[in-house]
Amino acid sequence: MAARRIAKREDLRDTIARNMRILGALAKSAGKPAPELQRSLVMKAKRTMAPRVDDGTYEATIQRDIIAMLRKHPKVSIVERHNSGTAMEQDAEGNKRFIAYNTVFKVGGVRMRKSDIDCQLINGKRLCIEVKRTGWTHPRNQREIEQENYIKHVLDSTAYAMFASSVAQVKEYLEGITV
């Protein structure tokens, strides 16, 4: 299957400028004065950002490396990665349905958020891993508190769970598990 090319999303400034050109042309063809851009729509100059260089400390890179290690690990039989975000599905009649991944749920009134990786060990027990970027030490926002609540819930149910910011941490954790 050939790779699909994804169209670059138009910047808001460009959209407004394009729409103003169209409105000006329409006004001119109707013999009217061109509309003026409202002051509230005037935006600051576009700032440029330096490209991100993946030095191995990003969560996605760490997650990829952990999954690769788990797929080869003798104590692990199944590895699953959980998506996050939302997708839209449209049926033949044009009805849209949104599908949310990694949503927030409650257990006993406590808000939780599913971990990034779920594994089944060869002894049948679960191992849940929430991957964090290098240098992460503790939950700092509501999302991370919900992830911590899920990790605690899994640990309370006699399964294994952890936060990890490196492959070495997961290997060390697995060494401490008897299967």
Q: How far is CA 30 from CA 21, 33, 108, 121, 147, in A?
A: 14, 9, 64, 72, 59
Question: Is there a domain that residue 92 lies in?
Answer: yes
Using pLDDT thresholds of 50, 70 and 90, give the confidence band for residue 10: confident
The confidence score (pLDDT) of residue 35 equals 79
Is pLDDT above 70 for 122? yes
Same domain, 32 and 120: no
Question: Is there a domain that residue 5 lies in?
Answer: no
Q: Domain of 22?
A: 12-41
Nearest to 78 by CA among 86, 88, 67: 67
Do the beta carbons of residue 129 and residue 174 sit within 8 Å? no
Cα 124-126-128 angle, rounded to 5 deg: 160
Q: What is the distance between the alpha carbons of residues 163 and 82, in angstroms, rounded to a whole number? A: 15
Query: Average of pLDDT values for 91-116?
Result: 83
Counted domains in the chain: 2
Nearest to 135 by CA among 56, 70, 81: 56
Question: Is there a domain that residue 51 lies in?
Answer: no
Q: What is the mean pLDDT of the chain?
A: 85
The confidence score (pLDDT) of residue 21 equals 86
Same domain, 30 and 77: no
Do the beta carbons of residue 171 and residue 165 sit within 8 Å? no
Reported as type and span, the H/E element at residue 70 is helix 59-72
